Amino acid sequence: MKSENEIGTILLDAAFAVHKQLGPGLLESTYQACLTYDALQRGLQIETQVALPVIYNEVKLECGYRLDILAEKKVIVEIKSVEAINDVHMAQLLTYLKLSGCKLGYLINFNVKQLKEGIKRVVLGNL
């Protein structure tokens, strides 16, 4: 069983491969499909567009939240293709981590010249 950090390394390697081949300027859905394909080829179990309910007063409510990518049921990847990452994008990932119980998430903005500039790693608690 892979640790969150091992999964994260594989996901980042896949993201760099996707960005190297495609570059910036495409739709988020394109990057999601390519990253999913590449991560699957690298042996990860991947789910996409995973519904994330909110529990309110002990009632599960479907509020339309969807995880772009959930790897090995442990690591969330939120994909963006925007001019710049801002606070609302980080808040979105933090919310997804809290609601899902996952500890590690990546916010990856593919709309950058160098992908390393578009990656934000978020850890909740201890890995």
pLDDT tens string 8-26? 999 999 999 999 999 999 9
Helices (H), the chain: 4-22, 28-41, 87-100
Number of domains in the chain: 1
Q: How far apart are CA 92 and CA 104, in angstroms?
A: 13
Tokens of 119: 């990656």
Q: Mean pLDDT over all residues of the chain? A: 95
pLDDT tens string 99-116? 999 999 999 999 999 999
CB 95 within 8 A of CB 68: no
- Structural domain harbouring 116: 4-123
CB 73 within 8 A of CB 1: no
Query: The CATH number of the domain where 85 resides is what?
Result: 3.40.1350
Residue 61 has pLDDT above 90, yes or no: no
Stated as kind and residue range, the H or E segment containing 65 is none
Tokens of 33: 């499909």
Q: How far apart are CA 87 and CA 3, in angstroms?
A: 28
pLDDT confidence of 55, banded at 50, 70, 90? confident
Neighbours of 125 (CB within 10 A): 9
CB 17 within 8 A of CB 41: no
